[in-house]
Chains A and B, each alone.
Chain A
Amino acid sequence: MAGSGTAHLRSGDENVILSVENLVVEFPVGKGRVVHAVSNVSLDVLEGETLGLVGESGCGKSTTAKAIVQLPPPTSGSIVFDETDLTDLKNEDLRRMRPKIQMIFQDPVSSLNPRRKVFDIVSEGINIWNGGRGGEFTEDRIVEIIEAVGLDAETARTKRPHEYSGGQCQRISVARALVLDPKIVICDEPVSALDVSVQAQVINMLEDMKTRYGLTLLFISHDLSVVKNISDRVAVMYLGKLCEIGDGDLLYQSPAHPYTRLLLAAVPDPSNKHASDSEVLAGELPSPIDPPSGCRFRTRCPNVQEICAEQEPQMAQVAGGGDQWVACHFPLVETV
């Protein structure tokens, strides 16, 4: 991958709730050097859709999520949410947008304040916002949310996070995120720290919450099976760039980018039809301080040619008219 371009963005007449264009996030590391964490990533999410973002450590998936909520604001690019460009907003205006975009984090235990009662953790957002909104939300809302995620509201009044299991703590995080009635919830590896039997409970609960509260999800994970399960559309990232994006079924059925294929080949799943003993991702992840020219995946790509070092591939649609887009000079399936 390692491509740019915006061909895969959907036209304005569709119900796009979040549109990220040419997002760049760079961190200076001294001596004039810069970490290119996210470079020219564009993606959009329709209302009610779940976009899965997959990639290995260091590919910039979490940085992308954090840039969307302006923590920290991106170096450049636009993030249009509900017709407002978040990168233009300052202080109070930005603060007023925050209830609509919420986040859930990976570690359910450390993302909750251990000294507070669970009920207070969930209600904090309402306590802050009720002043400004004229009491739109009430205590009933808090009770409703806590019960919706499958916990007992009365127990939550007296207990602190350490008295709950990991899966229950993740439910508390979800309740805290949902209590202000957000439009988008960004889930950053929400089930990675959980046991498999509990992971399934939390994924089902997230799907229920999505239906019940009409949410749009941006779901980040390194686990391809989990992403397949929860997402409508899947985006694959590598070293700060988008490789491939498209309908989950299409992308998993016939991956177009060599990196996607190698990722799928490595999944230890008995039902994995892409599993292969011969295909191994060779080499090490290059440094994001000095990323390869042209296609960023070229240093590890089995199909690399000269052009890959010279020209950066642009997003192109896979032939057949389906929702699958790939940034590669030599994709594994025909492009338009």
Chain B
Amino acid sequence: MTDTPLLQVSDYRVGFRTPRGLARAVDGVSFTLHAGKTLGIVGESGSGKSVLNRGIMGLAKSAHQIESGSVLFNGAELVNQDRQALWGDEISMIFQDPMTSLNPVMKVGKQVTEPLRLHLNLSKSDATERVVELFTAVGIPSPRERLKQYPHELSGGMRQRVMIAIALAAEPELLIADEPTTALDVTVQKFILDLLMRLQADRGMAMTLITHDLGVAGGRTDEILVMYGGRVMEHAETDDLFSNMRHPYTEALLASIPRLDHAKHARLNPIPGSPPDIIEPPAGCRFAPRCRYAQDRCTTELPELDHDGNHGYSCFYPVGSDANAEALATNQQRGHTATGLQIRAKETV
């Protein structure tokens, strides 16, 4: 690992002009990613996790999009630059839906040889040999026969393997995996995630794994970034995040997931309310309207990402602190939070 990070994102913002006003999809995100590391980006729909990565890749371009801040890739600024030259051999991406990401009227072999011929200037026969190697590497059985098939002849898991082969064809330094297994069955999901981890280790690639599932991110990442309403709520090493979570949103998110070790009919702890409006976000902390610790300060002042060693969190009343315990006691006593959310006196998480 070198000292210069592969990817350095500082105060990155992506907004979309809409008739109602500017939608702040990504609102001041900063992180660094070193070669060979995996960063999990966790959040719910509308948290900005996909826009962030499409922004980095330069995919979300449109006349209605505004980006600012800085994204340094190998030291070169990407923001407001054309990034197409980087696609394939430097940054590559795999998407959620393997059906719509492949061209339905082109044989899969041709779709995989294309980046090879474009980026590596391989001859047709060399490229085909390379694809057979790649297909073998991603666990596609009888690769030569598969080359002549169309996407609809392959299962979902097989199509996602083809997508991974395409993404890896030109040996990128950074792989952005945007919910790569959400559309797949649980056993196929395990296969694909194991495959990605193995390929990443073999090739020393950096990877961002975008997912809504803390469980998926848990076992397979070095660090996790938790996003909500376009902002980073918490950023820590994976083990540290699970053993020592500081942000009320991360805590609430984990508590709301049904677990295998729950008893039957165990009451779940949902997060009350619904995700924030990114066009007119709440003043102060984005999560305050749904947070059981919210105090007056949370409704007026926007918390910045605060660091405790390597552990970043943006909260005035982080979980596990005295301030947090006091905030909860205050809210329980008055029966509601500063944003008016009802709190039961003896609520436990």
Contacts and interface: CB of A to CB of B under 8 A. Distances in A.
Interface of A: 56-57, 165-168, 195-201, 203-204, 207, 222-226, 228-232, 248-249, 252, 262-274, 277, 280-281, 284-285
B189 A266 contact: yes
Contact of B194 (A57, A167, A280): A280
A225 B257 contact: yes
A79 B261 CA distance: 34
Contacts of A263: 186-187
12 contacts: A222-B186, A230-B265, A267-B215, A268-B218, A268-B219, A269-B259, A270-B259, A271-B259, A272-B260, A272-B261, A277-B194, A281-B188
Contacts of B189: 266, 268
Interface in B100-144: none
A267 B215 CA distance: 8
B266 A268 contact: no
Interface stretch (B52-60, B80-88, B267-275, B316-324): B267-275
Nearest to A210: B265
Interface string B37-66: 000000011000000000000000000000
Interface in B254-300: 256-272, 274-275
A196 B258 CA distance: 9
B187 A232 contact: no
Q: How large is the interface on B (under 10, 10 to 19, 20 to 34, 35 or more residues)?
A: 35 or more
B44 A196 contact: yes
B258 A226 contact: yes
Given A265-B190, A266-B190, 19 more contacts: A196-B44, A196-B257, A197-B252, A200-B269, A207-B265, A223-B258, A225-B258, A225-B262, A229-B268, A230-B264, A249-B263, A266-B187, A267-B215, A267-B260, A268-B189, A268-B193, A268-B219, A280-B190, A281-B188
> Which of A197, A249, A269 has the most chain B CB atoms inside 10 A of its CB?
A197
Given A204-B268, A204-B270, A222-B186, A195 B275 contact: yes
Nearest to A54: B186
B258 A203 contact: yes
Nearest to B183: A57
A303 to B, nearest CB: 17
B219 A271 contact: no
B347 to A, nearest CB: 14
Contacts of A222: 185-186
B156 interface: yes
Contacts of A269: 215, 257, 259-260
A198 B267 CA distance: 14
B16 to A, nearest CB: 19
Interface of B: 44-45, 155-158, 185-191, 193-194, 212-213, 215-216, 218-219, 242, 252-253, 256-272, 274-275
Chain B interface, DSSP helix/strand/loop, else mixed: loop
A68 B172 CA distance: 50
Contacts of A267: 186, 215, 260
Given A204-B270, A228-B262, A56 B44 contact: no
Given A232-B264, A268-B219, A196 B155 contact: no
Contacts of A264: 260
A249 B218 CA distance: 25
Nearest to A249: B264
A273 B268 CA distance: 20
A76 B215 CA distance: 41
Nearest to A279: B190
A224 B44 contact: no
B191 A271 contact: no
Contacts of B252: 197
B270 A198 contact: yes
> Which of B157, B185, B252, B271 has the most chain A CB atoms inside 10 A of its CB?
B185
A116 to B, nearest CB: 22
Nearest to B264: A248
> Which of B185, B186, B242 has the most chain A CB atoms inside 10 A of its CB?
B186
Contact of B158 (A166, A273, A284): A284
A229 B262 contact: yes
Contacts of B262: 225, 228-229
A226 B260 CA distance: 8
> Which of B189, B193, B258, B271 has the most chain A CB atoms inside 10 A of its CB?
B258
B232 to A, nearest CB: 18
